[in-house]
Structure formats: structure tokens, C-alpha cells
A and B are shown apart, each in its own frame.
Chain A
């Protein structure tokens, strides 16, 4: 199908082979591998991957007994598998849990992507394409967001590209907090899943019925609502806050999240004002020569004090907010600096289109070997990407715990347990409850309607 974008080309998959071409003996030299090995992946899909929970999620209550259930629902969902040797299978669809589970176990994909629910079974799309009138279209899709720390390279000094550490991860925490609260308070969504992408960012799945039914224009509107950066990848990203006031959403983001994150975390951890080339970056954002030279003069002596960043930030704020300046353009300057260094940078294209694919939770990142675990937005500050279990660690834990496998719930005894339990209790159960209610009430309404139409 034309015009379908695929999230790829970012994490090119290099899969470590086995040394000397030998088949590795499971449970032994596991730790020696830090990539992902097919055999381990097989074990993962056999023992850890929560097939049933994923199926329940993607069914949205339509797998139940209620007469209002749409039993074709799960089967119209597109999955795509990236296999060994970069073979890429699009438009996979499954009639039910066992078919879904068997396909995953059998094909053992290095990556599973989730696409939209189409109006017809995507595997049969060609049959419909014959009719000429483009009837194969996405019908539903979670509203998704993709935030990638490599988009923040101009505001972090500790790492760059795909690397992340605890010094820059707070940028992701800020993004989760700002977006999550706006999705709930402004847009009124309730069923939101945040997932660690396994390496350098986070994904967000908004799963309310209303969110799944948004059209592309409405998705774009939400993405644009979140956007404060002007310019594009080629030009310098720039925040410009104009107008006499900020929109209430931005005010809240600033007061509740950005300001503290900037002043208490990033200012210090990134040493944003500690030496000349860094503070010059910030001074360049102040459009008034006399003020910047005043600050430069103050900061010229290289007095090393422990909290030099904070001292200088206070000086900058005092000067800019002293009321001495008469220029309108300076009013927003402090906020603009804080926004530039902290505000979430969303990959807009991922959110705009229903048919954008996004990696499924609980996949293993092919480069890092880490599981794409859910993140609790309420406690996202505590999330440590470097402590996320890797596949090898899981297998090792399993091995230590009990050498024989004991059927399906192996994850329970490993460090993946908390993640799966969180997924079930905080996301899946409330979601399914509301799906059930929705199915019942819309079925009721339909019955009522048909009664009414009989009664004339």
C-alpha cells in the first residue's frame, strides 16, 4: 500500500551470531552475548512474552461472549514482523489468540510492530483492492506518540545519538509527565500506556475508544497542540513563545514540570551554565546585547563554586525579570530558555497518521537486548532505563530459580514479573472494564434504535 510509513531505519538490527558457528547451549554462555540470539528469543517468546495479555489488549473486549462483541475485530489488526536477515513481513493478521501466539513462537520475530485495525482483514486486502474504490482503509488506531532522546542532542552534553544515561533520561521523564497530564486533563483520555522503547526513548499508546477512532486530521491537531518548536531538522530548532500570555496548557507544563526539572536537575546535571561555550548557547537566546554583555562580564571570572550553574541562573533570571528591560521580546525569554532545554520533542509524523506502525510493548530491543517494558507515569521519575531487564538477565534468573521450565508463567519469578503485573493491573484491567461497558451501552442503544424503527 502506498503512503504507509514504517518506523524503521532507526534501529538497524545487527544480530550477534554464535561464536565459531556453534549452536549455543542454552543457559550457559548467555552472558557472553549482549545482542540477541535467535535461540534465546525463542525461549523468550515461549516463556516470557505475555501473548494472552497482548491479545486481550488488542481485542478491546471483543473476544467476550456479549452479543455486542465484534469478533472480527482482532483479525482486522495489522501486525508486522521483522525477521532474521531483515526480512520484513507486513499485513500479518490473526484470527485469535492461538494463531497469534503460534505465529510469534514460530517466526520468532526480532521486532513486532503494531499497525491499525483495518476495515477488512489486512491479509485479504488484495481481494478488496480489485473493486477499485479504495475500500481497504484503517478504521481504528490507538493515538500514539514516539519520543526519542536522540532528538535532544542540542540540549544534552552527556551523550549523543542513541546513547542515554541517567543524566539525560530526566528529559524523557519530563516528556512523559507533560504529555500524560495533558492527555488526561485536557483531552479527557484515561487509558494510556507508556512504554520504554528499549533503547533511547519512550512510546505512548492512548487506547480510549474515542482516541482509537480519531481521524488523521484530529490526530494532527493533538500533535500540533503539543508542539512548541518551530523550524525543522535542517534549521535550528527554536522555541518562540509569543503573545501576552501562554496557553493554560503551557503554563501548567511550565509550572508543574519544566521549571523544576530545569532548575533542579538539568541545569546541574548538564552543567548548562558552568563554562563559556555552554553559557554562550543560552546567552544567544537573549536578544538584547546590553543584557548579555552584562551577564558575560559577571561570569567572566572563572570562579569555581559548587553550584555555579544555579548562581548564574539566578543572576540571569534577576536581570531578565527585573523590570528594567523595556523590550517586549524579553518578557518570555526565561521561559523560552527553559522550554528549549526541557519541553517534549515529539516525532510528529508518527502521531499524525493512523497507519503508522509502532513497536509492540514487551518486544526485545535487538541492539540492547532490553525488554520494552511499560513505564508507570505516576512514578516515572523512578524509572531507570539501565536497570530494565535484558533477555540474557531474564534467562539467567530463570536458570537460577529453577532449571526446569514450568509452563507459562515463568515471567512471574523473574524481574519481568513487576512489569507484566503492572501492565495487567494498571492498564489492561481498567481498559477492559471500560471496553465492556462501552460494548454493552452501544449494543443497548442499537437495540433501542431497532425497536424504535419497528414501532412506526
Chain B
């Protein structure tokens, strides 16, 4: 009886169009190349936010909020009728971007699945039912007579997770336990001979597994198509775009200093102490100590300083003061000044060089005598501990940071350091040393408004 009713309801609600697409087939839409890229970048911001949230161990309801916010922030199209198109197009573009290696596929699969999970939870019941029927789930509902047999156990499970016993008209599905691993892991279902009894209200887990399976298969297919034809066919149009997207840095480029960031030579030491991320602090201290930095270090620190608003003249004075103590003023003018002006776009091709993002710094490969790179990645644990200690990171926070480092989450480690040093949370995470700097300045100034920089 319950089954009948549920089918009728589904049938009635077939006209409810869910706002959550299943991305079954690629859209037959004309897309302008710019939109292609812009949409993809917007979706990528959402996915990066999700993977950040997950690795910070956010709880399900926090994740739900996060996903809702990220989606509103990045995926709304000015014309709301276009929302769905943007959603679908961006998904398919990223599918292309992330189908190409096992590692990329794994990341995309898990973040897209999380995105789907939380978006699904945010749907209305009707829309959830519609999606459910779109999946054509092959599971049998539990018949009345069978339900009587297991009712007691099912209610026991309900009480064990703090829910009221299921009412007579609740619908249960019998599902192989492998397909609802999260419900099994948390003992939220009754399991008998390999079959889990899953309540209608627990179907998120079912649908999500289904979604994941479909997407996983689709990614393998896309990869095949990509290597066998698309890459070649699109080599002048899409291919370069696809290849650059997977490693793109998504934040602002910081090549123009922000308002907060005006600094002058006289307080550079104090500012370095209070607001430089560890990578820059280290370079700064080494420069003061050795009166020299190798090329990689000069680039990383030099562009950063440009980004925080050190004027060209000040920059020249700053580097000269240090270098001339080691190599003499004359050699500095001859050999090094050019590079600094170059950074500021005053020499050579006259392009304005952009300060390095964390991603770029983290993937650099410093060798002997180099001091650039990201300390979280490139320092030994011992040195990192000492450096963090000097920054005033307390014991407990320090262990957290080290923990992230061990798991290779360098930017998170840096974020936790930021949080410990400033004693506030930094939900956006650290993606760029200049962002670290400007966030730090903002916080310090709001704490100490009587003393504006």
C-alpha cells in the first residue's frame, strides 16, 4: 500500500523540475569560449571551497551551509534562467579538465560528489523524490509483511540514533550494504544478510552513491574521448584552456597593491614581524642576515613586496642596503638593480610581474643555498617547529599545524598558523602570501584602530 502511494506521488510530481541536474549527457548548447572558461572557474572556486572545508574536518551541517554560500556566491548567473545552463556547462568543462589523470579524477569525483550531496540535502522533498525517480534506483521497497518481521529491529536502530520509531506509512528500501557505506559505518541502518534497510529519509546516501558511480564511469569515458579525439580536434581552441585550468590559481592576482597594503621602508621590519607569512618572513630574515638572496628568493620576496605596496624606489633602496654590504654598491647597481626594475615592469618586456601564489611557491624546487619555497613543504619538521615557535605559535596549535603538514596540506597548515597568530578564524584559507598579508593587516587594524598604518 505504501508503495503504491509513493509511486502515485512520484508520478504526480513528475512535473516538478528539480534544480539539481544529474549531468547525464553533455549539453547541446552554444557556448562562447569566454563563458566556457568563466563558468568553469566559478565552479572551480566552489569545488576548492568544498575540498578545503572537508580537509578542515567541517561537520555535515557546517558543510551544508558552506556549500549553500559558495554556490550562491559563485554560481548565480545575472539572469536566473541561465543558472541551470551555467551549472551544466561548468560541470562538463571541468569534467574535461579533470578527466585526464587518475589523481585529477579522484579529486573531482570526491568534490563533485560532496557538492551533489549537500545540494541534494538542500532540495525540497518533492524535488528529492523527483531526483530519486530519475535515477531509477533498482532497489525493492520492503513489503508490508516483510516490514512486520523486521519492524522491531528497525525501530531499535531508529531509537539508537535518537529518532522516533518509524510510523506505519514510512517507506523502506532494501539495499545491498555496499551501496550505503556511510550508513553502515555509523550503524544508522539495520542490516540482515547483506541487505541494509534504508528509510526514505536516508535516501541521500543512496542517491549520492548512485551519482558517484555514474560520474566515475563518465569520467573514464571522457578521458578516453579526450585522449582519442578531443585533445587533437580542439588543439587550438579548448585544449590550451583545459590544460591551464586544472592548475589555475583562483584568487585575485595581487599585482596591484591593495589599499591596506601601503608600506614604507621605515616600518618594514615591524610589518614583516606581524604580517608576513612564514615563507616571506624566512626570506626577509635571511636577507637581513646574509645580505644576499639567490635568484629564486629575490623573485619570490621581491614580487611579494611589490604586491604589498613597496614602491620601486623604496624597493631599490631596500635591496641595495642589504646587497651592498655583501657585494658592494657598484656591483648591486650593475647586476641586481635591473632585476628589481624588471619585476616592476620597468625593464625588459615591461610586463608587470605578478606575485607568486601559494600553489606556485609550494611547487617550486629550492636547492642548496636557496631560501625560497614554502617552509611548510620544504622545511624539515624540526626547523619548521623552531620557525613556528619564533612566530609565537603555541604548543597546541603547533601540533595541529604539524599534523596538517604531515598530511601534505601545506596551505591549511599556513591557515592554521595565521589563525593561531592572529587569534581569529580564517575561513577562506590562505591561497596567496599577499592575501595572508592583507588579511593580517585588516585584522590588526580592526583590533587597533587608534594606530592606523
| A residues lining the B interface (CB < 8 Å) | 132-134, 185-189, 210, 214, 217-218, 220-222, 224-225, 243-251
Given known A221-B182, A224-B185, contact A188–B194 (CB-CB < 8 A)? yes
Q: In the bound complex, what is the Cα–Cα distance between A435 and B361 (angstroms)?
A: 54
Check: B65 CB closer than 8 A to any chain A CB.
Answer: no
Residues of chain B contacted by A214 (CB below 8 angstroms):
178
A-B contact list, 10 entries, CB within 8 Å: A134-B101, A187-B191, A187-B193, A187-B194, A225-B191, A243-B160, A245-B159, A246-B160, A247-B160, A248-B156
Query: Does the CB pair B181–A134 fall under 8 Å?
Result: no
| B residues lining the A interface (CB < 8 Å) | 101-103, 153, 156-157, 159-162, 177-178, 181-182, 184-187, 190-195
Residues of chain A contacted by B177 (CB below 8 angstroms):
187, 221
The one of B103, B181, B193, B195 in contact with A221, judged by C-beta atoms closer than 8 angstroms, is B181
Query: Does the CB pair B159–A244 fall under 8 Å?
Result: yes
The one of B101, B187, B192 in contact with A247, judged by C-beta atoms closer than 8 angstroms, is B187
Q: In the bound complex, what is the Cα–Cα distance between A214 and B153 (angstroms)?
A: 26
Beyond A186-B191, A244-B159, A248-B157, 17 additional pairs, beta carbon < 8 A: A133-B102, A134-B102, A186-B192, A186-B193, A186-B194, A187-B191, A188-B195, A218-B181, A220-B181, A221-B181, A225-B185, A225-B187, A245-B159, A245-B160, A247-B156, A249-B191, A250-B187
Query: Does the CB pair A225–B184 fall under 8 Å?
Result: yes
Query: Does the CB pair A247–B157 fall under 8 Å?
Result: yes
Residues of chain B contacted by A218 (CB below 8 angstroms):
178, 181, 184
Query: Does the CB pair A210–B181 fall under 8 Å?
Result: no
Query: Does the CB pair A185–B192 fall under 8 Å?
Result: yes
Residues of chain B contacted by A243 (CB below 8 angstroms):
159-162
Query: Does the CB pair A248–B190 fall under 8 Å?
Result: yes
Given known A218-B178, A220-B185, A224-B186, contact A248–B153 (CB-CB < 8 A)? yes
Q: In the bound complex, what is the Cα–Cα distance between A251 and B103 (angstroms)?
A: 42
Q: In the bound complex, what is the Cα–Cα distance between A221 and B190 (angstroms)?
A: 14
Query: Does the CB pair B103–A134 fall under 8 Å?
Result: yes
The minimal Cβ–Cβ distance linking A216 to chain B, given in whole angstroms, is 10
Q: In the bound complex, what is the Cα–Cα distance between A249 and B191 (angstroms)?
A: 9
Residues of chain B contacted by A221 (CB below 8 angstroms):
177, 181-182, 184-185
Residues of chain A contacted by B190 (CB below 8 angstroms):
248
Q: In the bound complex, what is the Cα–Cα distance between A249 and B156 (angstroms)?
A: 10
Q: In the bound complex, what is the Cα–Cα distance between A218 and B209 (angstroms)?
A: 11
Q: In the bound complex, what is the Cα–Cα distance between A133 and B193 (angstroms)?
A: 38
Query: Does the CB pair B156–A188 fall under 8 Å?
Result: no
The minimal Cβ–Cβ distance linking A222 to chain B, given in whole angstroms, is 7
The minimal Cβ–Cβ distance linking A2 to chain B, given in whole angstroms, is 12
Residues of chain B contacted by A247 (CB below 8 angstroms):
156-157, 160, 187
Query: Does the CB pair A133–B187 fall under 8 Å?
Result: no
The minimal Cβ–Cβ distance linking B169 to chain A, given in whole angstroms, is 22
Query: Does the CB pair A244–B162 fall under 8 Å?
Result: yes
The minimal Cβ–Cβ distance linking B360 to chain A, given in whole angstroms, is 23
- Of A185, A186, A222, A247, which is in contact with the most chain B CB atoms at under 10 Å from its CB? A247
Q: In the bound complex, what is the Cα–Cα distance between A220 and B177 (angstroms)?
A: 12
The one of A185, A245, A246, A248 in contact with B193, judged by C-beta atoms closer than 8 angstroms, is A185
Q: In the bound complex, what is the Cα–Cα distance between A244 and B190 (angstroms)?
A: 16
Q: In the bound complex, what is the Cα–Cα distance between A194 and B346 (angstroms)?
A: 75
Query: Does the CB pair B193–A188 fall under 8 Å?
Result: yes
The minimal Cβ–Cβ distance linking B57 to chain A, given in whole angstroms, is 15
Residues of chain B contacted by A134 (CB below 8 angstroms):
101-103
Residues of chain A contacted by B178 (CB below 8 angstroms):
210, 214, 218
Query: Does the CB pair B103–A222 fall under 8 Å?
Result: no
Residues of chain A contacted by B184 (CB below 8 angstroms):
218, 221-222, 224-225
Residues of chain A contacted by B194 (CB below 8 angstroms):
186-189, 210
The minimal Cβ–Cβ distance linking B111 to chain A, given in whole angstroms, is 15
The minimal Cβ–Cβ distance linking B52 to chain A, given in whole angstroms, is 21
Q: In the bound complex, what is the Cα–Cα distance between A221 and B189 (angstroms)?
A: 12
The minimal Cβ–Cβ distance linking A427 to chain B, given in whole angstroms, is 20
Residues of chain B contacted by A251 (CB below 8 angstroms):
156
CB nearest to B184 among chain A residues: A221
Q: In the bound complex, what is the Cα–Cα distance between A220 and B182 (angstroms)?
A: 9
Q: In the bound complex, what is the Cα–Cα distance between A53 and B128 (angstroms)?
A: 52
CB nearest to B164 among chain A residues: A244
Q: In the bound complex, what is the Cα–Cα distance between A368 and B24 (angstroms)?
A: 59
The 6 closest A-B pairs by CB, nearest first: A188-B194, A221-B181, A224-B185, A245-B159, A188-B193, A221-B185
Query: Does the CB pair B186–A244 fall under 8 Å?
Result: no
Q: In the bound complex, what is the Cα–Cα distance between A221 and B181 (angstroms)?
A: 5
Residues of chain A contacted by B101 (CB below 8 angstroms):
132-134
Residues of chain A contacted by B156 (CB below 8 angstroms):
245-248, 251
Q: In the bound complex, what is the Cα–Cα distance between A225 and B192 (angstroms)?
A: 13
Q: In the bound complex, what is the Cα–Cα distance between A246 and B101 (angstroms)?
A: 44
CB nearest to B188 among chain A residues: A247
Q: In the bound complex, what is the Cα–Cα distance between A5 and B160 (angstroms)?
A: 35
The minimal Cβ–Cβ distance linking B303 to chain A, given in whole angstroms, is 33
The minimal Cβ–Cβ distance linking A224 to chain B, given in whole angstroms, is 4
The minimal Cβ–Cβ distance linking A176 to chain B, given in whole angstroms, is 20
The minimal Cβ–Cβ distance linking B403 to chain A, given in whole angstroms, is 13
Q: In the bound complex, what is the Cα–Cα distance between A214 and B191 (angstroms)?
A: 17
Q: In the bound complex, what is the Cα–Cα distance between A220 and B181 (angstroms)?
A: 8
The minimal Cβ–Cβ distance linking B356 to chain A, given in whole angstroms, is 27
The minimal Cβ–Cβ distance linking B206 to chain A, given in whole angstroms, is 14
Residues of chain B contacted by A245 (CB below 8 angstroms):
156, 159-160
CB nearest to B187 among chain A residues: A247
CB nearest to B177 among chain A residues: A187
The minimal Cβ–Cβ distance linking B121 to chain A, given in whole angstroms, is 20
The minimal Cβ–Cβ distance linking A1 to chain B, given in whole angstroms, is 13
Query: Does the CB pair B160–A244 fall under 8 Å?
Result: yes
The minimal Cβ–Cβ distance linking B322 to chain A, given in whole angstroms, is 41
CB nearest to B101 among chain A residues: A133
The minimal Cβ–Cβ distance linking B139 to chain A, given in whole angstroms, is 16
Q: In the bound complex, what is the Cα–Cα distance between A245 and B161 (angstroms)?
A: 8
